[in-house]
Each structure stands twice: as C-alpha cells, then as structure tokens.
Structure 1
Amino acid sequence: MSNLTFDEGNERVNVRCAGIIRHENHLLVVREDDDDFVCLPGGRVQRGESSLDAIHREMDEELNAQIETPQLRYMLENFFWRYGKRFHEFAFYYEVAKPLHVPFQPGVCITGEDDGKVLSFEWVHTAPDALAEINLHPFSMRTRVAELPQGFVHECVVDPDY
C-alpha cells in the first residue's frame, strides 16, 4: 500500500496518526536521526486503511507493541511549513497505554528503525517548559498532551509562519 501523502509543487497534503503515550507525568516522544525536533510516535495512514488500523500498525512497526483500545482524543488539521513544503496535515492522535516492554528511564529508552532512519524514543516531562525545550512538533501538541480531553476534539491549527 502507499501512504496518504500527496505533493503538488511545494505543497503537501498528509494524513498521519500518532500515539499519545503518557506515564507518570511524562510523554513518550521519538526523534528521527536527522531531525532537530521530536514528535509523537506514529506515521502516515496508508490508502485503504483507517486511522485506527494505522495506529495499531504504526505502534507495532515502531515499538513492536500490540496495543489495546486506543482512544481517539484529537483530530487536528495542521497547517505548517517543513522541509521546504507547505503542509496541510490531517492528524489523528490516539491515547495509547504504555507498552509493558518500553522501559521508563531517563534518556533514550528504546531505539528502532523506519525507512532506513534510526528512531530514538525517550520520555520527556509534560510540563510546558520541558516540552518547549525539546522542540515538540507539531507545536500545537505542546499544550494538548498534559491534560487530555475525555472525548474527541477536532481543531484546525495554523502555525504563525504558515
């Protein structure tokens, strides 16, 4: 299958899902080896795949984790610039329980690989100043991960430099 990503000139439409994995006032984030930012674990939804199926597949691929009952908390339409492209991203953020085999420790707790890139996972504190220090993308998640809504929230978020 192919990803739900469509490019036209310097514009990209992207459909993504990610897991919000919290434990003891910390959040699991991932950094690709060549990025200067971190994001929540996950990836692109593929053609013919639901976001729910995608979060299960992505957690298996990235964390070798079979997750149970992920809860959709946010569907964000994000508008931002990255890699010289103007993004319009549809992102599904699921609350996911901490996988038992992912250690809760300082620094990089687990590594993996995705499309030839090294992935480093680490726990960061959910305090706003801590999230700002680690450069969490998209920026809109910095204020949304510490306290999750009880239900589902849909929002449109436009980065200031879009």
Structure 2
Amino acid sequence: MAFHYLARGIIRSDDHVLLVRAIGDAITFLPGGHIEFGEPAKQALERELFEEATIVGKAERFIGAAENEWFEGEERQAEINLLFEVETQLSHHEMVISNEPHLEFFWVPCADIEQWNLYPVALRELIKQNGSSQQAFWGSGISGNPMI
C-alpha cells in the first residue's frame, strides 16, 4: 500500500478553474503535489505550482480536505488532499505551460466540471458550488468497505 499526502490548489479565473492531467490519461486533478516531510502544506503547494508550471501563486484560505483510494496494478493507493484557494495573476485566457513533459494544464468552465473526470470525485460538487462556503469541506472517495 502507498499513501500520498498532497496539497492542491483551486485556481479560478472568472467562471473557470485550472486542471491538470497526465498526458494520455482521462483523469484530471487540481494543481499541486506531494507535501515533503516537515514542510508546511501552503509552502508545498506554492513550491509545486512553481516547479510544475512556473505559476507564482499565494496559497490562501484553507478550503478543506478530500480523501481518495485506487489501485495501480495490484498495489492499493490512498491519498489525502489538503485544498487551498490560490491567489494568482493567471487568466483563463492564457495557456499554462507545463515544466514537466508528462503533465498538461488547461482551463475548464466550472459549470462543465462533470465532463472533465476530476478526481477525487467529491471535488466536482465543490468546484460547481464555487467553494463559497465558510465551513471546511470534507470529501471522500473511500467506500468504507475493506478492499483487501
């Protein structure tokens, strides 16, 4: 089993949100990545954004967390995503160029988020609702049934 501890950012421009996917994959996710041991989550998010696409952004309000699980081959994977609003000068009229050849970034209308296969699935409703709630979000893609 592998466990992933991640910081993800919601980057909005008007009614669009920035998504990422591995080239050739159908699954999308929010920008961000792994939190290193002893690293604050906001700092990890800002570092990952810059490393992946030279995005200069400020991790702001903590929105909540989403958990997920899946299999890669025979190995069970689990993740916790800490979610933050990100303040940046990006516009959905601009292309975001990846610094990593296996990733691509793109803007999608928030109203169409269901069509983009965003994971964890629980985030889809959060994106459609514009994340306006002051209550912390908790989403789960874990069924509660043992997978082993």
Counterparts in 2 of 1:116-127, with a 5 A limit? Answer: 117-127=101-111
Counterparts in 2 of 1:54-73, with a 5 A limit? Answer: 54-73=44-63
1:111–1:119 Cα contact (<8 Å) kept: no
Deviation at 1:96, TM superposition (A): 0.8
Report the TM-score, using the length of structure 2 for normalisation: 0.82
Deviation at 1:124, TM superposition (A): 0.7
Matched, 1:136 2:118: yes
Question: What is the root-mean-square deviation in Å for CA atoms of aligned residues?
Answer: 2.3
Deviation at 1:29, TM superposition (A): 0.4
> 1:154 and 1:37, CA in 2 relative to 1: closer, same or farther beyond 3 A?
closer
> 1:134 and 1:156, CA in 2 relative to 1: closer, same or farther beyond 3 A?
closer
User: What is the distance in 1 between the residues matched to 2:17 and 2:67?
Assistant: 22
User: What is the distance in 1 between the residues matched to 2:123 and 2:21?
Assistant: 15
User: What is the distance in 2 between the residues matched to 1:151 and 1:51?
Assistant: 19
Deviations 1:36-85 (A, max 9, x none): 2111111111112121110111121123133235211012232x214233
> 1:36 and 1:82, CA in 2 relative to 1: closer, same or farther beyond 3 A?
farther
> 1:153 and 1:120, CA in 2 relative to 1: closer, same or farther beyond 3 A?
same
Tell me the number of residue pairs that the alignment of Structure 1 and Structure 2 aligns: 143
Percent of residue pairs bearing the same amino acid type:
27
What residue is the counterpart of 2:34 in the other structure?
A: 44
Report the TM-score, using the length of structure 1 for normalisation: 0.76
Deviation at 1:151, TM superposition (A): 4.2
- Residue from 60, 70, 79 that aligns with 1:81: 70
2:120–2:140 Cα contact (<8 Å) kept: no
> 1:118 and 1:103, CA in 2 relative to 1: closer, same or farther beyond 3 A?
farther
What residue is the counterpart of 2:11 in the other structure?
A: 21
What residue is the counterpart of 1:153 in the other structure?
A: 137
User: What is the distance in 1 between the residues matched to 2:15 and 2:46?
Assistant: 24
Q: Secondary structure at the match of 2:57?
A: coil
Q: Secondary structure at the match of 1:113?
A: coil
Unpaired stretches in structure 2, ≥5 consecutive residues? none
